[in-house]
Amino acid sequence: MDKMLYISMSTAQQTMRAQAANTNNLANLNTTGFRADFEQFRSIPVLGEGLPSRVYSASERVATNFQQGTVQSTGRELDISVQGDGFIAVQGQNGQEGYTRAGDLRISANGQLMTGTGLLVMGEGGPIAIPEAEKIEIGSDGTISIRPIGADSTALAQIDRIKLVNPDINQLQKGSDGLIRSVDGNILPADATVKVASGTLESSNVNAVGALVTMISLQRQYEMQVKMMAAAQENSTSSAQLLTLGS
């Protein structure tokens, strides 16, 4: 009975974790540039003295879905979307460089270029600072140009260039903060071939229908494991009663 109960209990626990990951994907359905996480279950033997007679289930995030989301036109001069493969370099909350597809940029009160979630956008020499200007333009190569206040309408000055990277996606992983980084933790070099489109944003790549179907499936799996635990309890009680009658 203990084998049945142990397997059902561990599977129910891991199903809850998988449900949490799927719920996180669904919650970010409208998050700009979000990349969904894949989940899978794996059977792992319990090792110890003697033969491995117990097996438990483990849920693990095996990879991130790097498929491109839908690109939508916004007409806003600070909105950009990466065309094809590549990422925008930002400074994470921990001060380390990370990479994102979220191009909903804005300028903070002290003139720093930030993402919609408040992460500093990296340029050629560090975080990008934007001086006061009448107009800001972001070129297809990430070049930022401004028209200073009071300057002629044709007078554009280049001030920096957004750092864009294009690493092998097989060497990337998503951190708990949602940013993409290299598996070895190294800072990635800029790639001049990555292009962006101004006035557009890339949506999340979460499939709402698929996430809802997965949620229902996981809920049914959880309910089945709970029933298995109840059955194990009933079998244990019945066995105890039989032993009592035999004595």
pTM for the predicted model, two decimal places: 0.79
pLDDT (0 to 100) of residue 237: 77
DSSP string for residues in 91-127? E-TTS-EEEE---B-EE-TTSBEE-TTSPEEB-SSSB
Q: Would you state the pLDDT for residue 47?
A: 67
Q: Which residues contact 67 (CB under 8 A, 6 or more apart)?
A: 205
Give the SS3 label for residue 146: strand
pLDDT of residue 213: 94
- Return per-residue pLDDT of the chain as tens, 247 residues: 567 777 787 788 888 888 888 999 999 999 999 999 887 666 666 666 766 666 666 655 567 899 999 999 999 999 999 999 999 999 999 999 999 999 999 999 999 999 999 999 999 999 999 998 888 999 999 999 998 887 777 778 899 999 999 999 989 999 888 899 999 989 999 999 999 999 999 999 999 999 999 999 999 988 998 888 888 878 777 777 777 765 5
Among residues 193, 66, 189, the alpha carbon closest in space to that of 140 is found at: 193
